[in-house]
Amino acid sequence: MIATVRNSALALIVGAGLAMSLAAPIAFAQPANNACTTGAQVLVVPTLGSVTVNANNVNASSDGTVACATSSSDVWYRIIAPANGALTASTCSSATFNTVVAIRSSCPGLGATLACDNGGCGTAGRSTATTACTAGTVYYIRVASAGFQSTTTQGLFTLTITHGPTPPPPPSPQPNIGPDVVVNQITDVTRWGTDAAGTTTAYSVGTDSCNPGDYPVLWIDSANYAPDFDATQHPVISQNMFRLKSYGQYSRFEQLGQSWLKHGFVSTNSGGCGTCVASNIWRPSTQALQNVGGDALGVNCSDTYGAGLNGSQGNLGPKNIVDATKGTSPFIRGGATGDNTTKSRLQVPTVDVTAQPAGTRFFVDGYYVAADDAQFVRPNQTVAINALNNASWRELTLTGINTSSPGFAGPTRQRDPGVMAWKFADPAVVVSTADHDDTPNPGTGWRDGLGNPSFPNTFIRSRYWVLGKTTDLGGGLFRYEYVVYNHNSDRSANQFSVPMPAGATVTDTYFRAPKWHSGEPYSNASWTNARSGNTLTFSTDSFATTPNANALRWGNSFNFGFTANVAPVTGGATISLFKPGTIPTAPAFVTANNMSVPNVPCTVATVGPVTGPSAPVCGGQPVVLSAAGAGTAPITYQWRKNSANLQNQTASTLTISAATSTDSGIYDVVVVNGCGNATSTSLTLTVLAACSLADLAHSGTCPDGTVDGSDFVAFINSFSTGDVSADALADLAGGGADGSLPDGIIDGSDFIAFINAFSVGC
């Protein structure tokens, strides 16, 4: 019956439109299939057949989804799988712009990306994506422009959607551990000499890698395996040097320097860590296994790069272009600036390695970063963790530190970063980890049997190690020394905070960071420290203020120290994250618990109930939620929706400027201070919002959530006035850059907008 009403309404609208003068110019809106939820074009794909549509995305906006590439200006198609099998969406035959093609289980915000591609056809700008499909299941196809919104990246394309037979299964058994590269041995160290000024000394560290996983690690530095894999899919290797030195009554462990990154090439697949298995990888494009030889590190296989090779400047690339969380890196080497002896190599201040007192100890580490390792999620898990064991360290001899080939004082300590040498050397050191699991897994490394990203709706773990020791200096004074190491957090850190009583005396504050060099864009400015309430905070600029600030970035450790007249207790230290998160629930900080920190007597945090609207609110209206926390300052707030953290919502109030139906949910707030936390009672927020542009008829004060004859009547009544000053309900379109906004005139553009929306329904 609703369909009959809608058809009659459409006929009346068209008739009325023909009877009226439409002499006013009509501003055409975006393509009718611009919005996924309300306009996805329905296509019928036959069993073991295909359907082709010629279309464009000119003036299309974006639904804001990001899968395999940054993209915008998207249009949408909806199909029902005719049978079990494989579904392929392709612009391979024609596209006048650089396309991104994705297949989703539903519209953005509701489901997952099942397959996504940018440029996989082998022809610039054309893409193809394939996923397994189930009979009767609805799938959404997105065609978008690669890059950010720009009319220059929009244009014409031909989309072909094909249903094929059920694909063969990927090789069995599926990996349980996956690709997992580790540093098996620190093999040797080379001292290259000092710069012309004599202030900087260069070293390099030899590494022997191993794959203790159950699937090969990609080691590709060529285009031999397109379209499945590209030349960037190989490890990059960082090298660091550390020193443990006595400062009288206490000792300090600090990172002296860092290197640029060695790009891996040609694995030897040696037997240095077990019985080496041939490097057979699954090729989705051929649906077969292929032995790729040195372009992968096979299971239980090893590969050695001596210190001379790891210090070869032509193979070293900058660190700033690598995302260590995802394990991704462009294949860029060379370009370093500075002294010819030291540039791009592991650089340390010469004064830190010469004339050192007896008892001083030196250490080096090596760390491999690889995408397929970083992104692999083990069965029945939701977070990738393989990259957390990719570093190993080894101690050097004090007498050999300034020889051309420094010797070693012990064996390689596997699968721990170099900062853990402090704990090894001094059991009194306290160690804590602080993780955040908010990086969506792009699945661009290890793929499933069809070549699709293999871990939808999973995340990658980012980790900080925090090490600390408190020394009783006597006379009521205590020395606090901390090392904070960022293993793989691309978000980085710009604050480190510890409890400190407001009345305590703090002296001899200390900060140290390894120097950026050879043309890296980052600042080397020292962090400052300040006290607020019962907290001492070391910090640098925010990301919004200075994107290239000297943040604690991946593969680096910073030192923090001070003397205070406060005895230690076991407590928490806070690390504030530098870059904004990419998901709404991303945390603003992480906490290292069970640390030795100054004792701050405090009252445990409490919080009252959340206050806000007790009845449903209309879409578009502002909403303010609030809660009052109490207890010893400083107090922090973290608002949650449906038990998930809301990014950057860390004040006592939560303001939604214009509520939509997606804001409906259960809200509460967690209040934290230095000695505890509390969670408020919850408040359920219901937002009544229009389900589409055509949802004009209201129930009470809000749209009623359906599109039917009442909306047609409401539109006609408003349209017939022809006067926005009398009734503006029908003023739907004609304004804005794309014609999708009210323009203060009721004319033909409003007819078109209403017809398009009404025909789709909700």
Asked if residues 231 and 222 have their Cβ atoms less than 8 Å apart, the reply is yes
Question: Which pLDDT does position 208 carry in this prediction?
Answer: 98
Host H or E run for residue 742: strand 741-742
User: Which residue would you say has higher pLDDT here, 446 or 178?
Assistant: 178
Question: Which pLDDT does position 171 carry in this prediction?
Answer: 62
Could you tell me the two tokens for 457? 């709706």
Please determine, for residue 217, whether its predicted confidence score (pLDDT) is greater than 50: yes
Question: Which pLDDT does position 151 carry in this prediction?
Answer: 57
Alpha helices in 99-206 (DSSP H): none
In terms of Cα–Cα distance, which of 425, 387, 415 is closest to 242? 425
Cα 65 to Cα 31: distance, rounded to the nearest angstrom? 18
Please determine, for residue 429, whether its predicted confidence score (pLDDT) is greater than 90: yes
Lowest mean pLDDT among 140-149, 381-390, 415-424, 699-708: 699-708
The amino acid sitting at 240 is N
**pLDDT tens digits along 8-57:** 443 444 343 333 333 344 444 679 999 998 899 999 999 999 999 999 99
Question: Which pLDDT does position 387 carry in this prediction?
Answer: 97
Q: Count CA atoms closer than 13 A to 338's CA, side-chain side.
A: 22
Cα 17 to Cα 7: distance, rounded to the nearest angstrom? 15
Tokens 């006048």: give the residue: 96
In terms of Cα–Cα distance, which of 741, 734, 621, 588 is closest to 25? 734
Lowest mean pLDDT among 345-354, 429-438, 631-640: 631-640
User: Which residue would you say has higher pLDDT here, 148 or 719?
Assistant: 719
Cα 143 to Cα 658: distance, rounded to the nearest angstrom? 29
Bridge pairing between strands 687-688 and 617-618: parallel
Cα 526 to Cα 511: distance, rounded to the nearest angstrom? 7
Confidence tier at 109 by pLDDT (50, 70, 90): confident
Over range 202-210, report the average pLDDT: 98
User: Which residue would you say has higher pLDDT here, 541 or 9?
Assistant: 541
Mean of all residue pLDDT scores within the chain: 89
Could you tell me the two tokens for 448? 């499933």
Question: Which pLDDT does position 215 carry in this prediction?
Answer: 93
Asked if residues 345 and 260 have their Cβ atoms less than 8 Å apart, the reply is yes
Please determine, for residue 734, whether its predicted confidence score (pLDDT) is greater than 70: yes
User: Which residue would you say has higher pLDDT here, 755 or 366?
Assistant: 366
Confidence tier at 202 by pLDDT (50, 70, 90): very high
Please determine, for residue 548, whether its predicted confidence score (pLDDT) is greater than 80: yes
**pLDDT tens digits along 380-416:** 999 999 999 999 999 999 999 999 999 999 999 999 9
Confidence tier at 111 by pLDDT (50, 70, 90): confident
Residues 6+ apart with CB under 8 A from 113: 65, 67, 68, 102, 103, 104, 453, 456
Please determine, for residue 154, whether its predicted confidence score (pLDDT) is greater than 80: yes
Bridge pairing between strands 459-474 and 535-539: unpaired
Cα 443 to Cα 450: distance, rounded to the nearest angstrom? 13
Over range 132-137, report the average pLDDT: 91
How far is the CA of 627 from the CAs of 111, 539, 642, 680, in angstroms?
32, 29, 17, 8
Over range 744-756, report the average pLDDT: 89
**pLDDT tens digits along 474-508:** 999 999 999 999 999 999 999 999 999 988 999 99
Question: Which pLDDT does position 729 carry in this prediction?
Answer: 83
Residues 6+ apart with CB under 8 A from 726: none
User: Which residue would you say has higher pLDDT here, 319 or 732?
Assistant: 319
**pLDDT tens digits along 281-326:** 988 777 778 899 999 999 999 999 999 999 999 999 999 999 999 9
Classify residue 486 by its DSSP letter.
Answer: E
In terms of Cα–Cα distance, which of 98, 150, 102 is closest to 119? 98
**pLDDT tens digits along 576-602:** 999 999 998 899 999 999 999 999 877
Cα 754 to Cα 750: distance, rounded to the nearest angstrom? 6
Confidence tier at 466 by pLDDT (50, 70, 90): very high
Cα 365 to Cα 204: distance, rounded to the nearest angstrom? 10
Q: Could you give phi then psi for residue 73, rounded to 5 degrees?
A: 50, 60
- With helix as H, strand as E and coil as C, how does 582-608 read? CCCCCCCEEEEEEEEEECCCCCCCEEC
Q: Could you give phi then psi for residue 373, rounded to 5 degrees?
A: -70, -50
Question: Which pLDDT does position 13 carry in this prediction?
Answer: 40
In terms of average pLDDT, the best of 57-71, 172-186, 696-710 is 172-186
Share of the chain above pLDDT 70, in %: 93
